[in-house]
Amino acid sequence: MSAREPESCLQISGERRMTITIAAIAAASSKATNRDIMSAKEKKAAAKQTACIVQGRYGGHMSKFYGGCDAGSTYTKCVILDENGKIVADVTKRSRINPVLSAKDALDTAIGMVDGLNSAEELEYLIGTGYGRNKVPFADENISEISCHAMGVHVTDPSVKAIIDIGGQDVKGIAIDTDGTVLNFAMNDKCAAGTGRFFESMARAFEMSLDDFSKLSLSAKNVIPITAQCAVFAESEVISLVGEGKPMDEIAAGIELSVAKRCFVMAKKAGVVDSVTLTGGCAKNEGLKQAIEKVLKVKVVELPVDPQLMGALGAAEYARQKGRVKQ
């Protein structure tokens, strides 16, 4: 064994090392039958060991990478961090009907962006989160999206202590402790009103893109209230108002205001006081941000990193912390 091999290589007995190396070569084969004889954990161990041996044989420091995959109901996001916590790859893709395929697709794309990484099995530690967190291939463990969003925001801007996360299926208010853990939270998952899918249905009713709809209310001089609390009835109400010839920007302002009021309830339950940030895809909705500031009477803090990545970023940071402890 070369003296230059990383210390982690030295911890494996010669016989076990040879077994894993042979298995790794089989796993790397293009023949599917060879891959099928290994479990997911064996493939991951084999891939790491092969990389370790190659690095040791040819010299140089073996970089370690940590992954987080947020398998959401609408979009699947993946973030890869280096040993210093720097983002080296991030991906956002529309979720497929199968969460395993969604996660694999996002992971494979992210892996392809990082020099020195060939597969998810080579990640030092990988954590799954979100709606499909139990379906992330090769994940070492999974953590709730509430915890991951809190940690993601914390490492992005430690001064932010409150989050409104509007996902594809629910709305959450989250209070963050000084170490990035969750201090308190409240969630509305009983109704789709105010969620990402709700905004998508509203944009369809207006026959415009989601991006265009999110800016529509900014030009409104008045607000037409939306009284329905249910997503289905709200959509019917909006279609009726459009049919009556009401100004579309004022209807949109009413939609944004109704969602902001739902966010107000979640935020107050979680303990939001003076400022808040938005996470999830709906954080990019300019009309909603304006309505939330008006209803909550607090400042909405802009994050320097894509707010839709916060769950995956938090998962990756947890993976980095846990992976470094494991070494």
Helix (H) or strand (E) holding 300: strand 299-301
Domains of the chain: 7-58 (no CATH), 66-144+311-326 (3.30.420.40), 158-302 (3.30.420.40)
CB 147 within 8 A of CB 182: yes
Q: How many residues does the chain have?
A: 327
Q: What is the pLDDT of residue 18?
A: 43
Instruction: Report d(CA 37, CA 286) in Å as an integer.
Output: 51
Q: What is the pLDDT of residue 139?
A: 95
Q: Can you point out the beta strands (E) in 74-225?
A: 75-81, 87-94, 125-129, 141-142, 162-166, 171-176, 182-188
Q: What is the pLDDT of residue 39?
A: 55
Q: pTM for the complete prediction?
A: 0.80
Q: What is the pLDDT of residue 294?
A: 92
Q: What is the pLDDT of residue 49?
A: 54
Name the token pair of 283.
Answer: 């954080």
pLDDT by residue (tens digit) across 258-297?
899 888 888 888 888 888 999 998 999 999 999 999 999 9
CB 106 within 8 A of CB 79: no
The alpha helices in the chain, defined as continuous H runs, are 7-10, 14-28, 32-36, 40-58, 99-111, 145-156, 196-205, 210-216, 231-243, 248-270, 286-296, 310-326
Instruction: Report d(CA 25, CA 22) in Å as an integer.
Output: 5
Q: What is the pLDDT of residue 149?
A: 98
Q: What is the pLDDT of residue 130?
A: 94
Q: Which one, of 183, 92, 162, lies nearest residue 130 by Cα?
A: 92
Name the token pair of 235.
Answer: 């959509």
Q: What is the pLDDT of residue 57?
A: 39
Q: What is the DSSP string of 108-137?
A: HHHHTTSTT--SGGGSSEEEEESTTGGG-T
Instruction: Report d(CA 1, CA 18) in Å as an integer.
Output: 12
Q: What is the DSSP string of 6-28?
A: -HHHHTS-HHHHHHHHHHHHHHH
CB 87 within 8 A of CB 183: no
Name the token pair of 20.
Answer: 């894993």
Sheet holding 275-279, edge to edge: 182-188, 171-176, 162-166, 275-279, 299-301
Q: What is the pLDDT of residue 227?
A: 83
Instruction: Report d(CA 168, CA 71) in Å as an integer.
Output: 11
Point out the residues of the chain with pLDDT beneath 70. 1-61, 189-193, 229, 326-327
